[in-house]
Amino acid sequence: MSQVPVTQADTDQADTTRLSARIAAIAPVGRSYLGHARLLWSTAPLASIAALLLTVLGAAASTAGIILLGKVIGAAVAAIGQQGPTATGPDPTGPGAATAMVWLGWLAVSFLVPPIAGGIVAVLSQHITSVAVARVSALTVEYAAAPHGIGHLEDPDGSRRLQRMVQSIGEWTYLEGIAGTWTVLQTRLSGIGAFAVIAGWHWWAAAVLALGYLITGRAMTAWLLSIFADMAIDPPIDRRRASYLFGVLMKADAAKEIRLFGLPSWMIQTYGRLWQEAMTGVWRRRNATVGPIIASTGAMGVCALIFYAVLGREAWSGAIPSATVTAMVGASIGMQALGMLGDEQVLFSQAMATTQRLRTVRVEAGLPGLEHAPDRPIANGPGAPAPAEIRIQDLHFGYPSRDTPIFTGLDLTVPAGQSIAIVGVNGAGKSTLIKLLCGLYRPDSGSVLVDGRDPSTDPAAQARVAVIFQDFVRYHLSLRDNVALGARTARNTDAVVRTALHDAAADDVLDRLDGDWDVVLSGEYSGGTDLSGGQWQRVALARALAAIEGGSGVLVLDEPTAALDVRAEAQLFDRFLSVTRGMTTVLVSHRLSSVRHADRIVVIEDGRIVEDGSHEVLLERGGRYARMFTLQASRFASAAGRSPESGRPTSQIAEGAVR
């Protein structure tokens, strides 16, 4: 087979490609340094400028100390020489000794400046670190909360990446990495100063020594960062599984079952096996980097040998004075600052990498890199409550982790002011439809509109929907705040909160707190208290009712009462429909008897609406809804000690079971 000749153009193209790859590899490092500098500048500009100036002053003093030490030695040698061969020491009154003392005084000043400047920088650094970490934490929370949807939080990779960032930011290593910025900078600047001192003698000698330190530093940094990557940034799945088992063994809520099933020994053995398997890969990767470290150390030895051989030869021949020899030795030691700095550099690099990862995910989410996004205005201002219209057209949606779509052309229109119930078997997509209605997911195709606007992109449309989810949040806040969260834009929040709590039949909650609205609803706080499941559900209902005054036009109950018995759930749903009459309401429940009083009921199956009508109409049709209702009614009858063959219609039996 003939070979294609390689032209000069091909060679040039290959060289260009390699150069582009090198630039691409360097660019992220440059962005990391630039992003770190912008972070410090944006959080504490005056303190950062002061710290920078003092850091430069300290580095300059260190460089001056190298030169001054040579001056002192040179002056001392010259003073001794002026006394003749029989002199036992310099004459303190002679001109040479006076010059040496002057240089010695300046040397003392150069030695005092770095610790004094460093002490002031340490104080400034504490302030800079505290505000920088607070800003990074706020930017992380903003990333988690800013997007309209929740897909980035439910995606396993995205969620794990966010949790790793949160963990990294909260660790002491991140704090020390930010605080160590000035130490690393001063050390590097001191190394550059030492390089300049040697370059004044022989530029190539400075370059040779710098090359040795840079090669060694790069190899050591790569080794240490590989350890950080294995252990913190992206731990292997076996290590995550081992950590999970370790955590389960430490938790009280799992202790009973673990012991009853005799699992401790098995879990401990499995933990040890998984950890061993995970660390085997880590050790293999670490051992692979030992070779470059040994090679770089050898290269450093060769560079140092060349430098000191030339320096020794010129000193022996008298080509350079003793002052220069002293300065060169001191500068060669100072150039170690261009190599690996140890823990300070590792912590600084880790902190910088964490900040850069935060910037990357924020940019991917459409947010400013390390700047706060503009505040989203609260769309709904106070005003008369107004119901909203819901219009869903040709909705298609599916989860990335599932092969089959959830919805395939679903259409639904809910006029403003109508109450509608959404029912279907488990997995039919009821809760998914509610999340689409709230704008938490974006349709693959089709549209979901609230008053003609898309809640997945329009904050005003999203704010028009208030929901009580099955897993509603039990905020560790006061009773007042737990309810008022739904009505942040209401004119008279106190009045709205009181009315909402009463309409939710939760006056007994306030009575339990002795009328104190400011008691924290959590037993984890001093003076706080927890509520029962039923009381929490009524507080959540009050929050949704308060949202009406906050501008919401659609109120949704997405199975928040699944843990209640049939009677309690039906009573809560009926109460909800009574106090929200005239508003657009959506009820979701797998218990059909609880939603029978809704104006309209739709049945979802196979990604579409297969039945639509009132409770009575759907029973008369004898379709899917009627069959599901009859099945549930027979269970209610059995639980109540009655039989469907007793002569009463199953609908009457079911309704009687929840009265």
Q: Are strands 390-397 and 584-588 parallel, antiparallel or unpaired?
A: unpaired
**325 and 396, same structural domain?**
no
pTM: 0.67
The stretch 390-396 carries a mean pLDDT of: 94
CB 486 within 8 Å of CB 543: yes
- Residue 58 belongs to domain with CATH number: 1.20.1560.10
Q: Are strands 390-397 and 554-558 parallel, antiparallel or unpaired?
A: unpaired
Task: Note whether residue 555 is domain-resident.
Answer: yes
Task: Note whether residue 215 is domain-resident.
Answer: yes
- DSSP 8-state assignment for residue 604: E
134 is in which domain, residue-wise?
15-81+92-365
**404 and 496, same structural domain?**
yes
Dist CA 464 CA 472 (whole Å):
18
The stretch 537-564 carries a mean pLDDT of: 81
Task: Give the pLDDT band of residue 604 (cuts 50, 70, 90).
Answer: very high
Q: What is the pLDDT, as a whole number, of residue 376?
A: 61
**399 and 342, same structural domain?**
no
Q: Which two tokens stand for residue 249?
A: 């063994």
Q: How many independent structural domains does the chain possess?
A: 2
How does pLDDT run across 429-447, given as a tens digit for each residue?
888 999 999 888 899 999 9
In the predicted structure, residue 1 carries a pLDDT above the cut 70: no
The stretch 210-228 carries a mean pLDDT of: 77
In the predicted structure, residue 601 carries a pLDDT above the cut 90: yes
Q: What is the pLDDT, as a whole number, of residue 3?
A: 44
Dist CA 334 CA 23 (whole Å):
30
User: Can you give the length of the chain in residues?
Assistant: 659
Task: Give the pLDDT band of residue 616 (cuts 50, 70, 90).
Answer: very high
Q: What is the pLDDT, as a whole number, of residue 656?
A: 44
**432 and 342, same structural domain?**
no
Task: Note whether residue 552 is domain-resident.
Answer: yes
Task: Note whether residue 416 is domain-resident.
Answer: yes
- Residue 462 belongs to domain with CATH number: 3.40.50.300
**608 and 494, same structural domain?**
yes
Q: Which residue has the higher pLDDT, 134 or 349?
A: 134
Dist CA 375 CA 397 (whole Å):
30
Task: Note whether residue 516 is domain-resident.
Answer: yes
**294 and 425, same structural domain?**
no
Domain C-terminal end among 365, 382, 410? 365
**Cα 54 to the chain's mean position, in Å?**
33
**405 and 347, same structural domain?**
no
**235 and 323, same structural domain?**
yes
**141 and 53, same structural domain?**
yes
Task: Note whether residue 379 is domain-resident.
Answer: no
**429 and 281, same structural domain?**
no
Task: Give the pLDDT band of residue 389 (cuts 50, 70, 90).
Answer: very high
Q: Which residue has the higher pLDDT, 204 or 505?
A: 204
Q: How many CB atoms lie within 10 A of CB 470?
A: 15
In the predicted structure, residue 471 carries a pLDDT above the cut 70: yes
**Out of 334-348, 464-478, 551-565, least confident range:** 551-565
Q: What is the pLDDT, as a whole number, of residue 446?
A: 92
How does pLDDT run across 48-106, given as a tens digit for each residue?
999 999 999 999 999 998 888 888 888 777 777 655 555 555 555 556 677 878 888 88
**329 and 278, same structural domain?**
yes
Phi, psi values for residue 363, rounded to 5°: -65, -40
Query: Strand 390-397's sheet: what is its strand order?
Result: 407-414, 390-397, 445-450
Task: Note whether residue 300 is domain-resident.
Answer: yes
Task: Note whether residue 644 is domain-resident.
Answer: no
**463 and 317, same structural domain?**
no
